[in-house]
Amino acid sequence: MNNPAHHASTYRAFTVTGRRQFALVERERHEPAPGQVRIRVEACGICHTDALAVEGLRPDPSAPIAPGHEIIGVIEAVGAGADPTWRPGDRVGVGVGFLGGQDNTCEPCRRGDFVNCSDQPQTGTAVDGGYAEVTYARATGLVRIPPGLDPLAGAPLLCAGLTMYNALISASARPGSLVAVQGLGGLATSASSTPARPATGSSPSPGAPPRPRSPQNSAPTTTSTARRPTPAPPCDEVFPLSEAPKAYERVINGDARFRIVLAGFVHQEIGTREGKPCPATAR
């Protein structure tokens, strides 16, 4: 759909100063700086660590900043000197694990240790993030997003999803492995959203020890699931940009069952899932 907002000279953004002092502002669209790209935001996940910006936990809380580091969007313009493989129209992810793009010149970068770049901005905390219709980012901090991935579903994967995935990889977990998930925050719900074993619990993980046997007989002990509540399915809550403060409050207050995502131009074009609360948890 040809949305005139894509070609507007200005864009809207929510900035924050002090502690939870949100302001909806209008900014001029400008050409990206050398090495950067301008991105039309399609979706931005709300992460608990957005509190660093919103709660004033940064060096200068008086400086306005647009929070948000779980961003998926479409490149509008590419700055001079940026990697030429990035082109307008490419769908990209920004702010992966807070990382805003390495400079490729510092000592860690020269060793190939890009994660520990000494001049890497934190998206949504040191530089503007995704609580906006448009954002700017270093081309070195981009990841390519597959065309079939729904931006609203994919945005939280850039932080919470990546974090839990790395944990599972580090633990050498495989499909069918039995894992323990500590806590029920955003990371844990991401990790547990896909069952690691059949729902009946009848299939142990590969190489797992046999179940303990009851002292009264030789049959393996089992745990009854007859009275267990039916787990509610994961539920993404989607809010328009205009309700960013409300969306943040739901996350920080622990009211979100699963994930909360801000919809940028996706909301305007496909009118998805906005504002619908998750169904009540089964008891």
pTM of the model: 0.78
Encode 252-273 in three state secondary structure. Answer: HCCCCCCEEEEECHHHHHHCCC
> pLDDT value at position 175?
85
Give the separation between CA 6 and CA 164, rounded to whole angstroms: 34
Mean pLDDT value of segment 103-130: 95
214 occurs within a structural domain:
no
> pLDDT value at position 160?
80
Mean pLDDT value of segment 121-140: 96
129 occurs within a structural domain:
yes
Give the separation between CA 83 and CA 140, rounded to whole angstroms: 8
208 occurs within a structural domain:
no
User: The CATH number of the domain where 61 resides is what?
Assistant: 3.90.180.10
275 occurs within a structural domain:
no
DSSP-derived pairing of the beta strands 36-45 and 91-94: unpaired
226 occurs within a structural domain:
no
211 occurs within a structural domain:
no
Mean pLDDT value of segment 32-55: 96
182 occurs within a structural domain:
no
Count of domains observed in the chain: 1
Residue that the structure tokens 């990790």 belong to:
191
DSSP-derived pairing of the beta strands 259-263 and 236-240: parallel
| Residues facing residue 136 across a β-bridge | 38
pLDDT digits (tens, 9 = 90+) for 67-116: 999 999 999 999 999 999 999 999 999 988 788 999 999 999 999 999 99
179 occurs within a structural domain:
no
Q: For residue 194, how far is the Cα from the chain centroid?
A: 17
Please state, for a pLDDT cut of 90, what percent of the chain lies above it.
Answer: 55
pLDDT bin (cut points 50, 70, 90) of residue 259 is confident
Residues in CB range of 238: below 8 A, 6 or more apart: 152, 260, 261, 262, 263, 267, 272, 273, 274, 275, 276
The range of the structural domain enclosing residue 64 comes to 4-158+233-270
CB burial string 177-200: b at 16+ within 10 A, e below: beeeeeeeebbebbbeeeebbeee
pLDDT digits (tens, 9 = 90+) for 233-258: 557 799 999 999 999 999 999 888 77
